[in-house]
Amino acid sequence: MRSWIILSVAILLEVAGTSSMKLSQGFSRIVPSVLIFVFYSLSFVGLTLALKEIEISIAYAVWSGIGTALIAGIGILYFKEPLTLVKVLSLLLIILGVVGLNLGGVKH
Condensed to tens digits (0 to 9), the pLDDT of residues 69-79 reads 999 999 999 99
What's the whole-model pTM score? 0.90
Q: CB 93: neighbour CB atoms within 10 A? A: 11
Range of the domain at 9: 2-104
**Total domain count for the chain?**
1
DSSP state letter for 54 = S
Condensed to tens digits (0 to 9), the pLDDT of residues 27-70 reads 999 999 999 999 999 999 999 999 999 999 999 999 999 999 99
Over the chain, what is the mean pLDDT? Answer: 94
Is 81's pLDDT higher than 80?
yes
Q: If we measure between CA atoms, which residue out of 29, 13, 7, 3 comes closest to residue 70? A: 13
